[in-house]
Amino acid sequence: MALRVGQYALVLAVAATINFALPHLAPGDPITYLYGGTEQGLTPAQIDELGAQYGLDRPLIEQYGAFWSGLVQGDLGISVEHRQPVVDVLAEHLPWTLALVGVSTGLSVLLGTLLGAWAAWRWGTRRDTAAVLSVLAADAMPGFWIAMVLIAVFAVQLGWFPSYGATSIDASGAAWLTEVAQRMALPAATLVIASLGGFFLLSRAAMVTVLDEPFVRRARAAGLRDRRVALRHALPNALLPVYTNLTLALGAVLSGAVVVETVFAYPGLGRLIFDAVTVRDYPLLQGAFLVVTVGIVLANLVADLTYPLLDPRVRRARPALEPA
Amino acid sequence: MITRTLRLALSLLAVALLLGGCAGGGDRGGGADPDRLRIAVQKDFGPLNFITMSEDQLLFLVYDRLVAPSPYAREPRPWLAKEVRQVDPVTWELDLRDNVTWHDGRPFTAEDVAFTVEFMKTAKSGTYTHHVTTVPRIERVDVLGPHRVRMNCAFACPFLGSVTLAHLPMLPRHVWSTVREPNRHTEPPIGTGPYRLVSYEPGRAYRFEANPAYFAGPPRVRELVMPIIPSPATTFTALRTGEIDTATGEVPPELVAQFEATSGITLVRTTPLQYPEVRMNHLRAPFDQAGFRRALSLAVDRHELNDTVWLGRGRAATKGYPHPDSPWTNPNLSTPYQPDEARRQLDALGFRDTDGDGVREGPAGPLRFTIKVDGAVPIRVRAAQLVAEHLTEVGIATRTEALDTGSLASLNETDDFDMYVNEITAHGVADPTQFIMSHYSGYLWELPDRPYPEMERVIDEWKAAPSIEARKAVSFRMQELFNSAPTAIPLHYPEGVLAYRPEAYDGWAESPGYGIVHKWSLLPRPVAEAANALTEPR
């Protein structure tokens, strides 16, 4: 256990270093965005002076040292674009992404798995073929296109849902919750449609295999009802690959859904990162990448720790795999 | 059984979504509330610290200028000043209004004016600092009384009343004198303007409330909510659904026809004082030769660009630099398309195709160049491709290279380019003093480090010109000189198309350089007209 935690700590340290280096490797800096550059009348000397105010004139290794020094104190610096502490900006945007992508991932898993099991139960029938074709067609559609179709139908034509944002600026209490739910409906639906396919196919394939297992045949032969056989005996055994896929997807939750957040002007982490790249907002990029990295590492850690609980074969196999 | 469960789950989901959708309208709907307007803005401009790049349309809801409405208007009028008079070529006296208060209730006085000018000298604001340190250079501000100041310039400053003072926002001394790091100041701005910024949510929205004590009378709309919506497609969908009432951004060309046919939405055609241009790297051979740059300008077919890329919306940029609709631009400028003349001039400069491959050679080898362009703006990519074709036709092999927005912005400072397509704003192409400053800052030239004797002579004349008319005459010659060997080639003078929902508010009107969303649209019409702030309807 300690070894594993150490390994993850090392991965985090290396990832944090890469996160620091990547934004600095791209050409440009935030000064032009912030102050307008020579086009607006700043001279090169003034631009250099402004860069110095943001510490951009310091050697990269010194900036790297300052980055780690701040990191260990929980200080990720000040966002150049928003002129606020990075921690505050992330705290403002992270919950929206967690809510949006969390809800949509949960729905994708639930619907994809159940639909996959349903299709597997009817494997080879017309219904199965129709389900596979429908889900694959949805899976092949780009997220932004799904978003535009949903907006055109449900926001413009039917007027059921708002087309942008996460909430209105002055809503509060129950009205705020209603606002949030309404505004989340279309982006979440977009993500669900776009990501349903993976879970559906995994669930269907695993279920088809499990349904052929002797214990399923025996359960059927024992006269158990189809529903009980499917939900109590077959499905739990088919969930392992779905669970693996889910843990990987959970890591990606924090990186948000850039395209969907942009189309719906949703104030999540994905759009924040996209804007920060344009502005070359180094502190914000480093902070956001760090959050994403930590999310992915944690998801992997959770997967590592929980998989043996779900699959006893992993527990039993381990001693045999370890060197003497 | 599973079928039944699935049906149930799907039915529940559908019901939940329907209930959610029908459970109330939030702040969407017809927008009939006359007290509030919802205006989409495309970018997050931070907490409106004037030192950094902010949107004037938002900033000057909060702040006022001594002279209104802006340097881009033909005849600006005194605003926070009651009277502005030039005493001699280098001296101005201003009488200020005595009924103006800051948003926190403190009175606006001559001390604030003197402080603002001194503060701007050290503020390092790209937009404002040079107006007090370089062109013009305000050496001293004397407070002659609670509401009277005198300004002295280092050289003649006939534009002070109509350009400089029509540009600088007035700052409260009691606030900014205590700010230790002005560049990082994030408190809500305190101005004298018709609106107060009461809420800023990073990446999400701004909210302004009317200043009931505004000296020119309270604005017509009590509250402005401005959601930040970067995508034009999302913005104009929200306008169509009635979730917003208007937007600061322009309607994309592909949506114009659709919006023209949409009831409940009105389109306004404006003249944005900005344009896309190809900037040449005059530090790099052979762009360092005036004749070479002239030949390039002759080779670009602006009419084809206007017709093909911009579908005829706007005008071909055949009048060069700066913007022809600025009151400070020589109306007789001409930058024609003459490819044969371009070929002749290139031949005369010694750039000839000696090996017959269609590409001219110079002392450093074949003329092969790259035009860099922002890959996120397809219309500019297409323009760059067409310009590359035009140049290739006269024997200058040119290709385009798409960059991300951040990398393209860095070219301004790194000089790592042959040519690139940039969108330049009103401050750059409609402010006559910025045209001079761009020759010092490195954008159009790098004076004094990089000599340009001909231009320097004209600038010296410009500095000595004592009156507006004399200075305009010199400005016109300076513009002719620039266009004879440009370092930036305007490609297209765009037409702006803005849209709003008239049932929500019908008071929108264009102000030069600012579209329709600005404080003048929100003030009683006689007030805006008294400031000469509105463009005649087109």
Q: Is B124–A32 a contact, with Cβ atoms under 8 angstroms apart?
A: no
Question: B46 — alpha (psi -120 to 50), left (phi > 0) or beta?
Answer: left
Tell me the pLDDT band of B422, cut-offs 50, 70 and 90.
very high
Pick among 3.90.79.10, 3.30.70.100, 1.10.357.10, 1.10.3720.10: CATH of A99-269: 1.10.3720.10
Structure tokens belonging to residue B71: 């340097």
Residue B221 CB contacts under 8 Å (≥ 6 apart), including other chains: B34, B35, B36, B37, B210, B505, B522
* pLDDT average, residue stretch B218-235: 93
pLDDT at B204 over 70: yes
The domain spans of chain A are 99-269
Q: What is the pLDDT of residues A142-178, one digit of tens each?
A: 888 899 999 999 999 999 999 999 987 777 788 889 9
Tell me the pLDDT band of B537, cut-offs 50, 70 and 90.
low
| Number of H-type helices and E-type strands within chain A | 15, 0
* pLDDT average, residue stretch B302-328: 94
Nearest to B20 among A41, A110, A182 (CB): A182
Closest CA to B200 of B47, B61, B59: B47
What per-residue confidence (pLDDT) applies to B32? 44
Chain B contact present for A37, CB below 8 A? yes
Sign of CA dihedral B408, B414, B420, B422: positive
pLDDT at A46 over 70: yes
pLDDT at B11 over 50: no
- Enumerate long-range contacts of A217-222, CB under 8 Å, 24 or more apart: none
* pLDDT average, residue stretch B83-109: 97
What per-residue confidence (pLDDT) applies to A299? 82
Between positions 83 and 142 of A, the ones with CB within 8 A of B are 83-84, 89, 92-93, 107, 110-111, 114-115, 117-118, 121
Q: Which residue has better confidence, A230 or A320? A: A230
* pLDDT average, residue stretch B339-353: 97
Q: Is A39–B428 a contact, with Cβ atoms under 8 angstroms apart?
A: yes
Confidence (pTM)? 0.86
Q: Is A36–B199 a contact, with Cβ atoms under 8 angstroms apart?
A: no
CA atoms of B402 and B408, how far apart (whole Å): 9
Structure tokens belonging to residue A162: 């708002």
Four-point Cα dihedral A247, A248, A249, A251, nearest 10: 90
Using alpha carbons only, give the angle A148, A154, A157 rounded to the nearest 5 degrees.
Answer: 95
- Provide the CATH topology of domain B4-190+500-530: Dipeptide-binding Protein; domain 1 (3.90.76)
pLDDT at B510 over 50: yes
Tell me the pLDDT band of B9, cut-offs 50, 70 and 90.
very low
Q: How far is B6 from chain A (nearest CA, A)?
A: 7
What per-residue confidence (pLDDT) applies to A221? 86
Q: Is A37–B24 a contact, with Cβ atoms under 8 angstroms apart?
A: no
Between positions 48 and 107 of B, the ones with CB within 8 A of A are 49, 51-53
Mean pLDDT of chain B: 90
Closest CA to B52 of A67, A54, A86: A54
HSE-CB of B159 using CA atoms within 13 angstroms: 31
Most confident of A71-75, A224-228, B478-482: B478-482
Nearest to B238 among A158, A163, A166 (CB): A163
Residues B206, B199 contacting (CB under 8 angstroms): yes
pLDDT at B30 over 70: no
Residues B368, B359 contacting (CB under 8 angstroms): yes
Using alpha carbons only, give the angle B275, B278, B281 rounded to the nearest 5 degrees.
Answer: 135
Chain A contact present for B263, CB below 8 A? no
Q: Which of A28-37, A151-160, A308-317, B313-322 has the lowest mean pLDDT?
A: A308-317
Pick among 3.10.180.10, 3.40.50.300, 3.10.105.10, 3.30.460.10: CATH of B275-494: 3.10.105.10
Using alpha carbons only, give the angle B48, B54, B58 rounded to the nearest 5 degrees.
Answer: 70
Q: What is the pLDDT of residues A240-293, one digit of tens each?
A: 888 888 877 776 666 657 888 888 999 998 889 888 888 888 899 999 989 888
Q: How far is B208 from chain A (nearest CA, A)?
A: 11
B278 φ, ψ to 5°? Answer: -100, 115
Chain A contact present for B415, CB below 8 A? no
Nearest to A39 among B24, B414, B443 (CB): B443
What per-residue confidence (pLDDT) applies to A253? 67
| Exposed e or buried b per residue across A149-177, where buried means at least 16 C-beta atoms within 10 angstroms of its C-beta | ebbeebbeeebbbbbbbbbbbeeeeeeee
Taking CA atoms, B111 is separated from A257, B137, B167, B170, in Å, by: 51, 19, 19, 11
Q: If DSSP codes are grouped into helix, strand and coil, which group holds residue B213?
A: coil
Q: What is the pLDDT of residues B429-467, one digit of tens each?
A: 999 999 999 999 889 999 999 999 999 999 999 999 999
pLDDT at B33 over 60: no
pLDDT above 90 as % of chain B: 79
Residue A133 CB contacts under 8 Å (≥ 6 apart), including other chains: none
What is the interface size between A and B, counted as CB pairs within 8 Å? 230
Using alpha carbons only, give the angle A66, A67, A69 rounded to the nearest 5 degrees.
Answer: 60
B489 φ, ψ to 5°? Answer: -110, 110
What per-residue confidence (pLDDT) applies to B5? 39
CA atoms of B150 and B424, how far apart (whole Å): 34
Q: If DSSP codes are grouped into helix, strand and coil, which group holds residue B24?
A: coil
Q: How far is B204 from chain A (nearest CA, A)?
A: 6
What per-residue confidence (pLDDT) applies to B213? 95
Nearest to A83 among B46, B238, B442 (CB): B46
Chain B contact present for A48, CB below 8 A? no
Between positions 123 and 182 of B, the ones with CB within 8 A of A are 124-127, 129-130, 134
What per-residue confidence (pLDDT) applies to A44? 82
Tell me the pLDDT band of B24, cut-offs 50, 70 and 90.
very low
pLDDT at B4 over 70: no
What per-residue confidence (pLDDT) applies to A219? 86
B361 φ, ψ to 5°? Answer: -115, 150
Q: If DSSP codes are grouped into helix, strand and coil, which group holds residue B441?
A: helix
Chain B contact present for A281, CB below 8 A? no
Q: What is the pLDDT of residues B151-201, one digit of tens each?
A: 999 999 999 999 999 999 999 999 999 998 888 888 999 999 999 999 998
pLDDT at B100 over 80: yes
The domain spans of chain B are 4-190+500-530, 275-494
* pLDDT average, residue stretch B42-68: 91
What per-residue confidence (pLDDT) applies to A251? 65
Q: How far is B393 from chain A (nearest CA, A)?
A: 30
Q: How far is B336 from chain A (nearest CA, A)?
A: 25
CA atoms of A237 and A210, how far apart (whole Å): 7
Q: Is B204–A166 a contact, with Cβ atoms under 8 angstroms apart?
A: yes
Between positions 420 and 439 of B, the ones with CB within 8 A of A are 422, 424-425, 427-428, 434, 437-438
* pLDDT average, residue stretch B332-343: 97
What per-residue confidence (pLDDT) applies to B509? 94
CA atoms of B236 and B252, how far apart (whole Å): 9
Between positions 295 and 324 of A, the ones with CB within 8 A of B are none
* pLDDT average, residue stretch B263-285: 94
Residues A311, A240 contacting (CB under 8 angstroms): yes
Structure tokens belonging to residue A53: 């105010």
